[in-house]
Structure 1
C-alpha cells in the first residue's frame, strides 16, 4: 500500500470545473454565499451546495454562519498559495480561459491574490524590495531585513501589531499573469491594506481588480519606482 499525503484526492477536488470556478472566486479573499458561488460556477444552487460540501470536507474551504446566512471562504493562506501556483502553471503551459473586454488588462495590472497585491504592480513592488535590500532569500525562505523593517515602519505599518497567524511574515508567490513573483504572507497583506487605508487604491466591487488613483499611483511610484514604458 502506498503511504503519504493523498494528493490525488485534493487534485480531484480542485479539478472539477465548477469547483475550480468556486475556488477561483474565493481567491478574491471575500466570504461569499452559496448563491453567489453558484452564479460564479454557472451551476444551480443545489449543485453548488453539493460542491461546497465536498470542498469543506476536503479542508479547502471554511464556512461560517451569520444570522440565517452561511458564508464560505478559502480555508487559509496555504490553500490560496496552491491555487495561485496552479494558475501560474496553467498560464505557463498555455491553458488559459479567454475573457473579452478591458477587465483583462486591469487584472494583469493590479489585482488581489487572496489577501495581497498581485499583477504587474505587485511584481514591481516585490522586485524593488529585493533590489533595495528590504527582502532577502534565505534558502527557500524569504526574510525581511533590518533595512526592510525600517522601511515598513516608515510607512506606518506596525509589524508587532499584525494579527497572530500561521502564515509566514514574508512569502514569495508566483504571479500567474506576469510569470514572476510577488509578495505574499502577513507583510503582503499588510502592504495591500495600507495602500487601501491610505486611499491610494480600492478594490473593484465584484472583482479581484485593484485600482490605483492618480495620487496613489504617484505615491506607489515614489516608493517602488515607475513602471517601464510599454
Structure 2
C-alpha cells in the first residue's frame, strides 16, 4: 500500500473492517478496474453509500482511480492490498455452506481463482507443483513441494528464499508461453509466493506468476467465472495444462 505517514495499522485495519468495503476490495482483487456502480452492486449498497466508502479507501491509499471521460474506474492501489486481503481471508473460517448455490460458489473459489494478477486456489497450487516437478522451480530447502514451511505465517506473500529458478527454466517456460528473459527484465521480483488461504499451500506470485496467468488468458485456456476472481478452465485449457503437466491434467480431469 502506498505510504501515508499519518496512518498506522489501526487506520488501515479499520478500512478493511467494514463489510461493504471488504466486499468491494474483494471485487477488485483480480486486478480489474470497476466503476462505483458495479462496486456498489457487489457490496449490496446504494451508490451514495458506495461513494463514501470509496472516498475513505482513496484517502487510505487502498484504491486508486482512473478517469476516462466522465467515468471513474477504481482499482487496488498495489499488490500489498491484495496480499493483506488474502492474509485476513486465511485467518477467517471458510463460510458455512447453507445452500447448493453457496456450495457451488465456494467450490468454484477453491477450484480456480485469481489472487490479484496470478493463479490461486487448487489450480494455482497445482501449477506451482508442476513447475517444481519440471525443474522450473528448485527448492532452496529440503521441502520439494508446495507445502507450508515452518515459520510461514498465514499471510500473503512469503519471504524470499523458498525457491530459485532451475537451469532449464527458460526452455520449460517457453512451452507455457512465457518469455523468461522479458519477465526478468521487469522491475518487480520474478519469484514471489503466497500461502493460499483455501489450500494452505504455496502458490506462485510475482512477475512469473503474473506472466503465466496472462499467457493462459492469451491462449484462451481460462475464461472469467460467474463472479469476480472466479476462473473457468476451457476445453483448450484442460488439454493444454494436461500436455504441459500430466499430473495437473489428471487433477483437472478428476
Q: What is the TM-score when the length of structure 1 is the normalising length? A: 0.86
Q: CA separation in 1, counterparts of 2:243 and 2:10?
A: 46
| Equivalent residue, structure 1, for 2:174 | 153
Superposed CA deviations along residues 81-140 of structure 1, whole A, max 9, x for unmatched, are 1211221221xxx25365741232222111111111111111111122223331135583
Q: CA separation in 2, counterparts of 1:165 and 1:74?
A: 20
Indicate whether 1:62 and 2:64 are aligned: yes
Superposed CA deviations along residues 183-211 of structure 1, whole A, max 9, x for unmatched, are 11111111011112112211235432211
Q: CA separation in 1, counterparts of 2:33 and 2:17?
A: 21
Change (3 A) 1:5 1:25: same
Q: CA separation in 1, counterparts of 2:118 and 2:34?
A: 18
1:80 to 79, 82, 87: 82
Within a 5 Å distance, the mapping from 1:97-176 to structure 2 comes to: 98=97, 100=99, 101=101, 102-138=104-140, 140-141=159-160, 142-162=163-183, 167-176=188-197
Superposed CA deviations along residues 28-76 of structure 1, whole A, max 9, x for unmatched, are 2211111111111111111111111111111111111001000000011
Change (3 A) 1:162 1:147: closer
Which runs of 5 or more residues in structure 2 are unaligned? Answer: 142-158
Which runs of 5 or more residues in structure 1 are unaligned? Answer: none
Contact in 1 for aligned 2:29/2:82 (Cα 8 Å) = yes
DSSP 3-state at the match of 1:23? helix
Q: CA separation in 1, counterparts of 2:37 and 2:6?
A: 36
Contact in 2 for aligned 1:175/1:182 (Cα 8 Å) = yes
Q: CA separation in 1, counterparts of 2:27 and 2:177?
A: 31
Over the aligned positions, Cα root-mean-square deviation in angstroms equals: 2.6
Q: CA separation in 2, counterparts of 1:95 and 1:206?
A: 17
Q: How many residues align?
A: 225
